[in-house]
Amino acid sequence: MLMIQNLLKQVWPIFTFGGIIFFIWIYFFLGGSSNEISNNEIIAPRILVEIPSNAYPKPQKAYLYHAGEGQPLIISLHTWGGGYDQYDSLFYVAQSMNWNYIHPDIGGPLWNPESCCFPASVQSIDEAIDFALKETKADTSKIVVIGKSGGGTAVLGAYLHSKYDIAHYMCWAPITDFVSWHDEVLLDTTLSRKYLARINLGTGSETFFDTLMAKKKSPFYAEFPKLEDLKQKHLIIYTGIYDGTNGWSTSIEQPIRFYNKLMNHFQNTDSSSYISSNELNFWLKYRKPLLTREFIPIGDRKCLASKSYQNTAFQLFDGGHEIRYQEVIKQLKSIQF
């Protein structure tokens, strides 16, 4: 018994030190470094509203925040599996900056056949903007559309087809091509369990995969507007280099192919602003930048590659299928309306 007590006296400091280190790790890596934003001192609550809709059979719900007449307006678009009631850090961003804000349903989760980039969902985004402008009297020249994942897909839908002359779009980890995404998911058992049934639901596929419907929901296959209609719009596409790995849902090829197609549409002859096949293949194989260069960080993450042409940019960062809110705040503060 005495021997056991002596042994405990010797090892107890080790366990104690290890415990302290463990809890420090938990705080900084799981708690202290959280990317989500909240605010316990809510100045004014967001309110639940119903928006009359010609896009859908019944009104669409949304959360609205009224900052004040003449203030900018954030249109926050929910992810693939979410809806208007999804937790949204952008509400707290809007509140802290005293910007108007709306978080519409746009058809609900994107496995609904008429959601995503289906014409009805793009129309419903415009209806949400109509409603928000009427209720808040926001400045029509100061509208920003932001979304991640399926919300990023919807951002691109609005970028291509919104009736509004929206100046700024921020698109994070978008799904741009449902045909290739379906094929990618088929090859990955983890992704198949998570997404295959819902991709089929969202494309109305029953006995076979409906390629035509999948293309109809994909920004990559959409008809691009006239050059003069797009060149004035500011678009930033962000993607994390590890997206498509470790259970993350979308290959980095998705946003890259869309960005390059957009460059072609712009008739851009500057090859350095495209993403080359050598760069893409290197990123896919090694998950690191091809060239060692210093770029302005993406919020609290390292920027690994940056391409741009006129008002359009592509940013590759050290991360996965995510949105970095520090970067969103930085970009919002830098906008010159």
pLDDT 10s digits, 172-217: 999 999 999 999 888 888 877 788 888 888 888 878 899 998 998 8
Q: Do residues 80 and 106 lie in contact, with contact meaning Cβ atoms separated by under 8 Å?
A: no
**How many helices (H) does the chain have, and how many strands (E)?**
12, 9
User: b/e string for 154-175 if b means 16 or more Cβ within 10 A?
Assistant: bbbbbbbbbeeebbbbbbbbbb
How far, in Å, are 179, 223, 244, 281, 284 from residue 277 at the CA level?
A: 20, 24, 18, 6, 10
Q: Are residues 218 and 318 in the same domain?
A: yes
Evaluate whether residue 183 is within a structural domain: yes
Evaluate whether residue 40 is within a structural domain: no
Whether this model's pTM surpasses 0.75: yes
Q: Are residues 112 and 8 in the same domain?
A: no
Record the tokens describing residue 313, joined without a space. Answer: 């940019």
Query: CA 12 to CA 295: how far, in whole Å?
Result: 47
Q: Are residues 185 and 229 in the same domain?
A: yes
Q: What is the mean pLDDT of the chain?
A: 87
For residue 27, give its domain range: 1-34
Q: What is the DSSP letter of 219?
A: G
Q: Provide the number of structural domains found in the chain.
A: 2
Q: Are residues 20 and 165 in the same domain?
A: no
Evaluate whether residue 41 is within a structural domain: no
Ordered per-residue pLDDT tens for the chain, 337 residues: 444 444 444 444 444 444 444 333 333 333 334 577 665 555 568 999 999 999 999 999 999 999 999 999 999 999 988 999 999 999 999 999 999 999 999 988 877 777 777 788 999 999 999 999 999 999 999 999 999 999 999 999 999 999 999 989 999 999 999 999 999 888 888 877 788 888 888 888 878 899 998 998 899 999 999 888 898 899 999 999 999 998 777 899 999 999 999 999 999 999 999 999 999 999 999 999 988 889 999 999 999 999 999 999 999 999 999 999 999 999 999 998 8
